[in-house]
Chains A and B, each alone.
Chain A
Amino acid sequence: MSKTRVLVIGAGPAGLSAATRLLEKAPGQVEVTLMHMGHHLGGKASSYEDDEDYTVEHGWHMMLGFYRKMRGLMGRAGIDLDKTLVSMKGNAHPFEPWSGKIHTLNWKRSTLSFMGHWLAYSGLPLGDRLNFGRFMAQTFIEADRGGDLTRHDDLCFRTWAIERGLKPHITRYSLFRNFREAYFNVPESISAYHMLKSMKLMSTPKRSEMFVVRGGFSEHVWGPIGAYFEKLGGTIVPFSLATDWVYEGRRITGVRIGRPDSSGHDEGMSAWKQKHLPIKDGSDSVHTNFDSVISTIPVAVLAQMNREDARMWASPYFSRLSELRSGVTLSMTVHTKQPWMKYPGPVFGLPAPMGIAVNMTPYWNEYKGQNIRSAIHFMGQEGGFEDWSDEQIIAFTLDNFSGVGALGSIRDAGIRYLEFHRNRSAFEQLMLCEPGVQKFRPGVRTPFLNLYVAGDWVRNEVDLICMEGAISSGAQAADTLLEDMAA
């Protein structure tokens, strides 16, 4: 019996998850090719080395305790989880403009212990603390109770909270603002469904525990998973950018691909500056060597494919996809000669566009033994600052953090390295979890009988914009394809 040829497009978490799942569940029945546009695995969660041999991330990533599928995949790929992952021990540090201070919260506690910790928390005045605490307890109960949480999707979380008695002024504290910032959803509002789903998945200290990897994700996570995929018999084809679908009736018969222009990743630039990626002249071809396709292309890119095909984009399925908006993330790494910002967990609540920073010096192996006293990873989103130059955003961020008394000036700590990128290309953008977005998110199946979609933007059991969501969706796409093969 001949094998079913499956083309998986995209080598981010969803693509790697789908590709390995196919070979794990149906060895000997499928022939899997993983095609991707870049030179490193991991998609939006990837990392690479720059000219100075420092690891650069597309954006800072962490794993949470509830990332079970991701841990499972890492484990099967032979990654030693104990050596690769390190806990941030539940520490988080909100900066509150009203106090001008960085406060400390620690999640890794029993419920009773956390209640006591919360009562003593200095980031909110007592009345606000009690009101916020009562609201959060009620919300966790509501989220954990079960039932269909998607019914809350039409409301933004702020309105949802106020309807449940959270005092409106409390939504202006960093602690509340962070709900949007954590999903890079600023300045847009975030759907109540997404917050409730987050709380459902993070309802215990174990499930909400934050872990970081000992170095870049491509080196420590995606690379080994890619090698595992190859060991299972899969084939990886890099530098292949899918630009259009070729179809006959309800079947995809080809994928038009091209080699990204040399201004792009194949020559090693950190990020393309333009939204639509250029194709090298003469590299255009149509790939037809497949029976089925799992596309893990981000929705912002998918929405640009076959743009001239008015009939396709007028169809209910594809016109619905056009409604999904994505946001531009920002990432910056700064190394200093003197120690700076010695907090063990993320510091957040500083002004946008980059209001979150993590000192990764204790966590990354490559920072040990070097003359780097602090390696700070900043992150945020571009919304509202689209017209600002890179220099303006960098200076504004450094000044904001330096203005916090407890930190002192980062410039005075002696900046010896600064890397910044602005993920403006469509393939780098993250879907915004806006209110009402759920009804526009597709499932795994598409109107094309042999095309399946996956990614954190596709409905899945996690449904959050995160690596676990992408991995869950990839696995679901693979399972669905195998079910259809068996039918």
Chain B
Amino acid sequence: MAFFLCGVAKAQTSSRPVPKNVEHPEDPFAGDYRPPVVKELGTSAGQVRVIGLLGARLAAGTQPVGQGTVEFMTLPILGLRLSSTLALGSEDPSSLFFAIGPSLHFFPYRRLDVSMFAEVGPARFALDHGAAWSPMLSTGASLDLAISGYWFLRLEGHLAWAVYDGGGEAVTLFDPGGTLGIGFGI
């Protein structure tokens, strides 16, 4: 078979004139190119929410605490929280608390959202005879107010419960508290 069939064939085409000042209908997709504007608020599936909070715990008077929380939203209403809480006051029985647990959001995609959570994890207790780690359970509720598509304010209240070794005797701790902070959800 002739090689030209496998090579490059000639075609009877050539340069076209360059059209100028041609009237045309309106672009059917003009709306697609408008600048995107963030309108979406609240939780959605797949979202990662990073929150920094400051507040107080009340078990030993008003003791300041700082808290960092990362929340992975598996569904728009169901999140997985990873929290760490650091006592900023010297009187707080629990100085450090790492916790993991689910959260349930009642109003996803909305500016105002209420959620409940339960977390469990190790807590460090500073005692006279040294430090000890014990499991601690914390439950509570959050109120989120979206201030933009990505930023939100969070008010959180919780009650922590733990039983720890207080120098040979079991000590039961009920520690209510509240925090306020700001979060960023992507």
Q: Which residues of A contact B (CB under 8 A)?
A: 38-41, 47-52, 55-56, 97-98, 127-128, 130-131, 133-135, 138, 162-170, 172-173, 177, 186-187, 216, 218-219, 222-224, 226-227, 230, 235-236, 238, 265, 267-270, 351-352, 384-385, 387-388, 390-392, 394-396, 398, 411, 415-421
CB neighbours (8 Å) of A384 from chain B are 28-29
Separation of A242 and B42 alpha carbons in the complex (Å): 58
**In contact, A169 and B40 (Cβ under 8 angstroms):** yes
Shortest distance between the CB of A175 and any CB in chain B (Å): 11
- Interface residue ranges of B131-186 to A (CB < 8 Å): 148-150, 184, 186
CB neighbours (8 Å) of B19 from chain A are 391-392, 394-395
- SS class of chain A's interface: helix, strand, loop or mixed? mixed
Separation of A40 and B2 alpha carbons in the complex (Å): 12
**In contact, B29 and A415 (Cβ under 8 angstroms):** no
Given contacts A48-B9, A226-B5, A387 and B25 within 8 Å (CB-CB): yes
Given contacts A128-B38, A235-B1, A270-B13, A218 and B8 within 8 Å (CB-CB): yes
CB neighbours (8 Å) of B150 from chain A are 127, 130-131
> Could you say which of A51, A173, A391, A421 contacts B22, with CB atoms under 8 Å apart?
A391
CB neighbours (8 Å) of A267 from chain B are 12
Q: Which of B45-53, B89-97, B98-106, B110-118 contacts A (4 or more CB under 8 A)?
A: B45-53
Compute the total of residue contacts between A and B using a CB distance below 8 Å: 168
Shortest distance between the CB of A427 and any CB in chain B (Å): 16
Q: Does B61 lie at the interface of the complex (its beta carbon under 8 Å from any beta carbon of A)? A: no
CB neighbours (8 Å) of B87 from chain A are none
Given contacts A351-B29, A419-B16, A420-B16, A236 and B5 within 8 Å (CB-CB): yes
**In contact, A392 and B22 (Cβ under 8 angstroms):** yes
Shortest distance between the CB of A311 and any CB in chain B (Å): 37
* Interface pairs A-B: 4 shortest CB-CB: A165-B46, A226-B6, A98-B35, A395-B22
> Could you say which of B8, B12, B23 contacts A51, with CB atoms under 8 Å apart?
B12
Count chain B residues whose beta carbon lies closer than 8 angstroms to a beta carbon of A. 47
**In contact, B36 and A135 (Cβ under 8 angstroms):** no
5 contacts between A and B (CB under 8 A): A48-B11, A165-B46, A219-B8, A236-B6, A419-B14
**In contact, A138 and B24 (Cβ under 8 angstroms):** no
Shortest distance between the CB of A84 and any CB in chain B (Å): 14
CB neighbours (8 Å) of B39 from chain A are 168-169
Separation of A96 and B47 alpha carbons in the complex (Å): 25
**In contact, B20 and A395 (Cβ under 8 angstroms):** yes
**In contact, B36 and A219 (Cβ under 8 angstroms):** no
CB neighbours (8 Å) of A417 from chain B are 15
**In contact, B25 and A388 (Cβ under 8 angstroms):** yes
**In contact, B36 and A173 (Cβ under 8 angstroms):** yes
> Which single residue of chain A is at the shortest CB-CB distance from B40?
A167
Q: Does B130 lie at the interface of the complex (its beta carbon under 8 Å from any beta carbon of A)? A: no
> Which single residue of chain A is at the shortest CB-CB distance from B28?
A384
CB neighbours (8 Å) of B83 from chain A are none
> Could you say which of A41, A224, A385, A392 contacts B28, with CB atoms under 8 Å apart?
A385
**In contact, A269 and B13 (Cβ under 8 angstroms):** yes
**In contact, A127 and B27 (Cβ under 8 angstroms):** no
Shortest distance between the CB of A289 and any CB in chain B (Å): 16
